[in-house]
C-alpha cells in the first residue's frame, strides 16, 4: 500500500489471478491487494466526507462497477464465489450492500449487457451465500473449523437484512430474467440464504404470492435441469409445516403438480396408443417428465400416482423400442424417486403386504434398468447404471443396520448375471483407451472435464457396491488392474477402494491384487504369446502396477508378513501351473509372472526369503527337464530373494547353502 510504483503492471496482473486459487490465506491476501490497488482509490475519489465516506451511495456504485469490470476481464467467469471470498475480509461491507448489488439489475438506465447482468447476478448470489453460511466456497482450503459466537450473531443479522431487502425484489428479478435459464437458476438459489420467517414476522405475504406466481411460470417455461432443481428446492424450503404460510404454499404446490400430472396423463395416453409421435409431441412429453422428475426429487408426489404409468412406459420401451430416448431418461428418474419416497413411509408397523409390494416394485425396476444397460443410447445406459447402483446400495444388507430389522424382507442380492453385466459396463464406459473417447482433442476442455466427472461417478458407484458387500469383493480385480494405467484419472478412487477393501478383509484383498496381475498377464499372453513377453511395453506396465501394489502394503512389514508370503507362494504356483510337454526344455508359459512377483520381494523378511527360495526349488523339481542355463525369469526372481554380487555363482536350481556366522 505504501510502495506505489514498485510493481509493474505485469507483476500486478499475476497477483490479481491469485484471488481464484484454492488456498484461502493467499487468495485473501491477493484480494486485499486488489482492493487497495483498484477499488479503494476510485471509491475514495467518489466518496463524501465523514466517517462513512467509503459507504456513500456513489462510492458503493463505483465499487460494484469496478468489481464487475474486474470479474469480466478475468478468465474465471464461473468462479464468482472465489472472487467474493477473496475480497470478503477487506470489502465485506461493500459486498453486503444489497441495494448497490441489485439496483443495477432493475434500473433500466444502467445499460448493462447480457454478460454483465449475468456476472452481477453471480456476484450477488455468491455474496448472499457468503453472508448466510459464513464459510468459504467448496474447494477453498481454510484452517478455520467453525464460527465464533460473535460471528454466528453477525451471520444471523446478515440473513435477516438479506431477506428484508431481497424478498420484495426477488419476484421482480425473476420476472425480468425469467427467459434466461442462466440467470433464473442462481436467483432461485437466493431462497436458500434467506431467513424465510421474515415472510411472517414482517407481513410480507403479498411478496410471497408474487414469488409463488413467478415460481410456477419458471417451471412451466423451462426444462433445464439446474432451473427445475432450483425451483423445486426453493418451493421445498417454503413448504415447511412450521411456517404460518405453509397451507398457502402447499396449495400452490398442489396446483402446479396437478397441472403437470394432467398434462402428463394426456400426453402419455397419446404415446401408448400410437407407435409414432412428431417432434413437438415428444418434446412436450419429455419436458413434462423432466419437470415432474425434478419435483419428485424434492417433494413427495406419491398421492398423484404417476409412478405406475411411468413403469408401463418404460416396459413398452424395453419391449418394443418405440419410445424415444429423450422420454426414457426422466421416466427412469421418476420411478426411482417414487421407490425411495415409498421406502421413507415404511415403519415398524408396516405390514408384510406393504413390504412385499415395495420389493416387487424395486425388483421390477432393477430388471428394467438391467435391460437398459444394453440399450443403444449411451445416456440411457449410464442413467440406468447410476440408478441401479444406487438402488442396490440402498436395498443392500446395510439397510437393516441400526435396529432396522423390520426392513429385512426388503434386502436384495443381485444375481450373478447382473453382477457380471455391471462389471462389463464398467469396462466399456469407464476404462476407455484414448482412441475410444470420441473426439478427443477436438472437444472443448470443459466438455472433456464433464465427461471425466461422469466416468468417475460411474466408477465410484461400482466401488461402493464392492465395499458394501453388494458385489463379490473379487470383482474388485476389474478395478485394481487399471490402477496404474488410469492413475491420473481415477487413482484417488481406486486407492481409497483398495484401502477400504484391505480393512474389510486383508487376506482376500491380497489375493485380489494377485488375481488382478494374473488376469492382466493371461490377457497379454493370449494376445502376444509367451515368446518375448517380458520385452513388451504392456509387460513393463504390469511391473509398474505390481510395484504400486507392493507399495500399498505400507511400512508395516511385520503386520503384513503372512500376507506377502502367501502372495508369493500363490504367484509361484501360478507361474508353474502350466508345464511344457515331457522332455521339452522350453520354459513354462506362465514363468514370466515371476518377474512381476519379484516386485513384492522387498516386502519380505530375510527368513521368509529363505523359505520361499526352498519353496521355489521344490516347485522347480516338478519340471521334467531343467535347462542347461537358468531361465531368465527364475534368475530375476531368485536374485530378488537372494541378491548376490557374483551372478555367475548364483544357481536357482538348488537351495542356497546356509552360511555360518564368522567368529573373530
Distance CA 572, CA 619 (A): 8
Q: pLDDT-derived band of residue 140, with 50, 70 and 90 as boundaries?
A: confident
> What pLDDT shows up at residue 646?
36
Read off the pLDDT band of 512 (50, 70, 90). very high
Report DSSP letters for 33-91, one per residue: HHIIIIIHHHHHHH--SSTTGGGSHHHHHHHHHHHHHHHHHSS-TT-HHHHHHHHHHHH
How is 334-352 classified by DSSP, letter by letter?
A: HHHHHHHHHHHT--TT--H
| CA distance readout (Å), 270 to 216, 229, 263, 267, 312 | 25, 27, 11, 5, 14
Per residue in 200-216, pLDDT (tens digit) is 888 888 999 999 999 99
Q: Is 23 helix (H, G, I), strand (E, B) or coil?
A: strand
CB 630 within 8 A of CB 620: no
- Please state, rounded to an integer, the average pLDDT across all residues of the chain: 87
Q: What is the pLDDT of residues 245-280, one digit of tens each?
A: 999 999 999 999 999 999 999 999 888 887 677 889
Cell numbers at residue 373, please?
A: 444397460
> In the prediction, which pLDDT does 5 show?
66
Q: How many whole angstroms separate alpha carbon 68 and alpha carbon 111?
A: 13
Using only the alpha carbons of the chain, give its radius of gyration. Answer: 33
- Reading phi first (left if > 0) and then psi (alpha if -120 to 50, else beta), residue 403 is in left
Task: Please compute the mean of the pLDDT values over residues 5-16 and round it to a whole number.
Answer: 83
DSSP letters for 500-541: HHHHH-HHHHHHHHHHHHHHHHHHHHHHH-STTGGGSHHHHH
- In this predicted structure, what is the pLDDT of residue 437? 60
**What are the DSSP E strand ranges found in 558-648?**
none
Task: For 352-385, give one letter per residue: b (16+ CB within 10 A) or e.
Answer: eeebeebbebbeebbebbbbbbebeeeebbbbbb
3-state secondary structure of 6: coil
State mean pLDDT over 360-365: 96
Comparing 533 with 512, the larger pLDDT belongs to 512
Give the pLDDT confidence of 408-426 residue by residue, as tens digits.
999 999 999 999 999 999 9
Q: Which pLDDT value is given to residue 167? A: 94
Q: How far is CA 552 from CA 69, 253, 254, 510, in A?
A: 50, 53, 55, 10
- Report whether pLDDT(132) > 50: yes
Q: What is the pLDDT of residue 655?
A: 41
Quick one: pLDDT at residue 645? 41
pLDDT at 100 over 80: yes
Task: Work out the pLDDT band at 528, boundaries 50, 70, 90.
Answer: confident
% residues pLDDT > 70 (the chain): 89
Q: How far apart are the first and last CA of the chain?
A: 75
Work out the number of other CB atoms within 10 angstroms of the CB of residue 309. Answer: 18
Mean pLDDT, rounded, for 98-109: 89
CB 284 within 8 A of CB 302: no
Residue 654: phi and psi, rounded to 5, are -145, 150
| Category of 148 on φ-ψ map: left (φ > 0), alpha (ψ -120 to 50) or beta | beta
Q: Taking Cα atoms as reference points, which of 138, 140, 124 lies closest to residue 18?
A: 140
Run of H or E including 497:
helix 487-504
DSSP letter assigned to residue 232: H
Q: How confident is the model at residue 12 (pLDDT cuts 50, 70, 90)?
A: confident
Rounded Cα–Cα distance for residues 127 and 37 (Å): 21
Q: Grid coordinates standing for 422?
A: 455391471
Quick one: which of 193, 185, 255, 252 has its CA closest to 225? Answer: 185
| Between 634 and 167, the higher pLDDT residue | 167
pLDDT tens digits along 374-398: 988 999 999 999 999 999 999 999 9
Question: What are the residues whose beta carbons fall under 8 Å from the beta carbon of 36, sequence distance 6 or more?
Answer: 1, 90
The closest alpha carbon to 539, from 548, 553, 528, 552, belongs to 528
| In the chain, % of residues over pLDDT 90 | 64
DSSP string across 378-395: HHHHHHHHHHHHHHHHHT
* DSSP label of 222: -
Q: What φ, ψ does residue 472 adopt, rounded to 5°?
A: -60, 135
Amino acid at each position: 500500500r505504501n510502495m506505489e510504483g514498485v510493481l509493474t503492471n505485469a507483476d500486478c496482473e499475476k497477483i490479481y489471478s491469485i484471488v481464484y486459487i484454492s488456498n484461502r490465506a493467499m487468495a485473501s491476501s491477493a484480494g486485499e491487494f486488489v482492493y487497495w490497488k483498484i477499488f479503494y482509490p476510485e471509491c475514495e475519489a467518489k466518496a463524501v466526507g465523514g466517517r462513512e465516506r467509503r459507504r456513500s451511495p456513489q462510492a458503493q456504485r463505483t465499487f460494484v462497477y469496478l468489481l464487475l469490470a474486474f470479474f469480466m476481464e478475468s478468465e474465471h467467469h464461473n468462479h464468482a464465489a472465489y472472487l467474493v471470498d477473496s475480497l470478503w475480509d477487506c470489502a465485506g461491507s461493500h459486498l453486503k450492500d444489497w441495494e448497490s448489488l441489485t439496483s443495477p439489475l432493475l434500473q433500466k438506465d444502467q445499460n448493462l449487457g447480457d454478460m454483465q447482468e449475468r456476472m452481477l447476478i453471480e456476484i450477488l448470489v455468491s455474496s448472499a451465500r457468503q453472508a448466510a453460511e459464513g464459510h468459504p466456497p467448496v474447494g477453498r482450503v481454510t484452517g478455520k473449523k467453525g464460527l465464533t459466537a460473535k460471528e454466528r450473531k453477525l451471520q444471523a443479522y446478515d440473513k435477516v437484512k438479506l431477506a428484508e431487502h431481497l424478498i420484495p425484489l426477488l419476484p421482480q428479478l425473476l420476472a425480468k430474467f425469467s427467459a434466461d435459464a442462466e440467470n433464473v437458476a442462481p436467483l432461485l438459489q437466493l431462497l436458500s440464504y434467506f431467513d424465510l420467517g421474515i415472510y411472517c414476522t414482517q407481513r410480507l405475504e403479498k411478496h410471497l404470492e408474487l414469488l409463488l406466481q413467478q415460481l410456477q411460470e419458471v417451471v412451466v417455461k423451462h426444462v433445464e435441469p439446474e432451473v427445475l432443481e432450483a425451483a423445486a428446492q426453493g418451493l421445498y424450503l417454503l413448504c415447511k409445516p412450521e411456517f404460518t404460510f405453509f397451507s398457502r404454499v402447499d396449495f400452490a404446490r398442489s396446483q402446479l403438480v396437478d397441472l403437470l400430472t394432467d398434462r402428463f396423463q394426456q400426453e402419455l395416453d397419446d404415446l401408448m396408443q400410437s407407435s409414432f409421435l412428431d417432434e413437438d409431441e415428444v418434446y412436450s412429453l419429455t419436458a413434462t417428465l423432466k419437470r415432474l422428475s425434478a419435483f419428485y426429487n424434492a417433494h413427495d408426489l406419491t398421492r398423484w400416482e404417476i409412478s405406475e404409468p411411468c413403469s408401463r412406459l418404460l416396459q413398452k420401451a424395453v419391449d418394443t423400442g418405440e419410445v424415444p430416448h429423450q422420454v426414457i431418461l426422466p421416466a427412469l428418474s421418476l420411478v426411482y424417486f417414487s421407490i425411495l419416497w415409498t421406502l421413507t413411509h415404511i415403519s415398524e408397523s408396516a405390514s408384510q403386504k406393504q413390504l412385499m409390494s415395495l420389493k416387487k416394485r424395486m425388483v421390477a425396476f432393477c430388471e428394467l434398468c438391467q435391460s437398459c444397460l444394453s440399450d443403444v443410447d449411451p445416456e440411457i445406459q449410464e442413467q440406468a447404471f447410476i440408478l441401479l447402483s444406487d438402488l442396490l446400495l440402498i436395498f443392500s444388507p446395510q439397510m437393516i443396520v441400526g435396529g432396522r430389522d423390520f426392513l429385512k424382507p426388503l434386502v436384495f442380492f443381485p444375481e450373478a448375471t447382473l453382477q457380471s453385466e455391471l462389471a462389463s459396463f464398467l469396462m466399456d464406459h469407464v476404462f476407455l483407451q484414448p482412441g475410444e473417447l470420441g473426439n478427443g482433442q477436438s472437444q472443448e476442455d470443459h466438455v472433456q472435464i464433464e465427461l471425466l466427472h461422469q466416468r468417475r461417478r460411474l466408477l465410484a458407484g461400482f466401488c461402493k457396491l464392492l465395499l458394501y458387500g453388494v458385489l463379490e469383493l473379487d470383482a474388485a480385480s476389474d478395478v485394481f488392474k487399471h490402477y496404474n494405467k488410469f492413475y491420473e484419472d481415477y487413482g484417488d478412487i481406486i486407492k481409497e477402494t483398495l484401502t477400504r477393501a484391505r480393512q474389510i478383509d486383508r487376506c482376500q484383498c491380497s489375493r485380489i491384487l494377485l488375481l488382478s496381475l494374473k488376469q492382466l498377464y493371461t490377457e497379454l499372453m493370449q494376445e502376444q504369446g509367451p515368446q518375448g513377453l517380458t520385452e513388451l511395453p504392456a509387460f513393463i506396465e504390469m511391473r509398474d502396477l505390481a510395484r504400486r501394489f507392493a507399495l500399498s502394503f505400507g511400512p508395516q512389514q511385520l503386520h503384513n508378513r503372512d500376507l506377502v508370503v502367501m502372495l508369493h507362494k500363490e504367484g509361484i504356483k501360478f507361474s508353474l501351473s502350466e508345464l511344457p510337454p515331457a522332455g521339452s526344455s522350453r520354459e513354462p508359459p506362465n514363468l514370466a509372472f515371476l518377474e512381476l512377483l519379484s516386485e513384492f520381494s522387498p516386502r519380505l523378511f530375510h527368513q521368509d526369503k529363505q523359505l520361499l527360495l526352498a519353496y521355489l526349488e521344490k516347485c522347480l523339481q516338478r519340471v521334467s527337464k531343467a535347462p542347461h542355463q537358468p531361465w531368465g525369469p527364475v534368475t530375476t526372481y531368485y536374485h530378488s530373494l537372494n541378491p548376490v554380487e557374483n551372478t555367475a555363482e548364483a544357481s536357482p536350481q538348488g537351495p542356497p547353502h546356509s552360511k555360518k556366522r564368522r567368529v573373530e
